[in-house]
């Protein structure tokens, strides 16, 4: 049985996987859904202001240590693609699979800011205008979303190359939204034999829109409406 560590994207907490967790557990797997530092309801302004990408990678590593996980599948949605890449690079071989769920797949020296498109750079900048350190969530969406630490969007990732030791790497591309920053990334990974690319005809928050399809891909059982290459 697999051990899944689910890492939410910007502004979100563990609740973003609430529809997927029981599907994985019902299949007999162990599941840990994280809420990253600065996104927890009790986090104060100082915690939000000082949290960065390293902080979030350390959140994942602390879970691996605390739960004594040695064969993890890390799943990162959106921004959390940065997080799982950084964590896997430092995990000393404890990661067996990476799943980037409509998520950034950084190369050494890249950041969320440098990897995204102009639309989201404007969202980040406008959202941080009030405080200078916390990015307010865009209008609409789940009311549980919280201001996201700006520093985590700006910090560049440092990768040593150990990610190549992860046995399986999957990228799930959600094709049903118009402002995606991941179209060029999908093309790059589709040409890389080390990656398995899957297309879902959903919006960005596929975990809510199509939890059964997401769970099926995580379980290695692509649904009928997914295209895998």
CA 162/CA 213 separation, integer angstroms: 30
225: tokens are: 């409406």
Residue 228: what pLDDT?
A: 74
Residue ranges, the chain, pLDDT below 70: 222-226
Return the pLDDT at 223: 67
Residues 6+ apart with CB under 8 A from 98: 73, 74, 76, 84, 85, 88, 163, 166, 168, 169, 170
Per residue in 145-171, pLDDT (tens digit) is 999 999 999 999 999 999 889 999 999
- Please state the pTM of the whole predicted model: 0.96
Enumerate domains of the chain plus CATH numbers. 3-228 (3.40.50.1820)
Question: What token pair was written down for 82?
Answer: 């940065």
Closest CA to 169 of 219, 228, 98: 98
Q: What is the pLDDT of residue 163?
A: 87
């Amino acid at each position: 049985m697999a051990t899944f560590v689910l890492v939410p994207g910007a502004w979100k907490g563990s609740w973003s996987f609430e529809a997927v967790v029981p599907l994985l557990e019902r299949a007999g797997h162990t599941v840990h859904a994280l809420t990253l530092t600065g996104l927890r309801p009790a986090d104060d302004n100082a915690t939000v202001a000082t949290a960065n990408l390293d902080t979030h990678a350390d959140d994942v590593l602390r879970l691996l240590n605390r739960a004594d996980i040695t064969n993890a599948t890390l799943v990162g949605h959106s921004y959390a693609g940065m997080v799982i890449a950084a964590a896997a690079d430092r995990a000393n071989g404890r990661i067996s699979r990476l799943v980037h769920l409509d998520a950034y797949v950084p190369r050494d020296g890249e950041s969320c800011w440098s990897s995204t498109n102009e639309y989201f750079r404007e969202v980040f900048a406008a959202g941080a205008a009030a405080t200078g350190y916390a990015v307010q969530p865009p209008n609409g969406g789940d009311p549980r979303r919280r201001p996201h630490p700006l520093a985590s969007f700006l910090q560049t990732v440092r990768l040593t190359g150990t990610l190549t030791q992860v046995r399986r790497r999957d990228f799930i591309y959600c094709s049903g939204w118009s402002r995606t920053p991941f179209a060029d990334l999908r093309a790059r990974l589709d040409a890389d034999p080390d990656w398995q690319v899957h297309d879902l005809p959903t919006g960005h928050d596929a975990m809510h829109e199509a939890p059964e399809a997401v769970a099926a891909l995580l379980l290695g059982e692509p649904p009928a409406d997914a295209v895998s290459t």
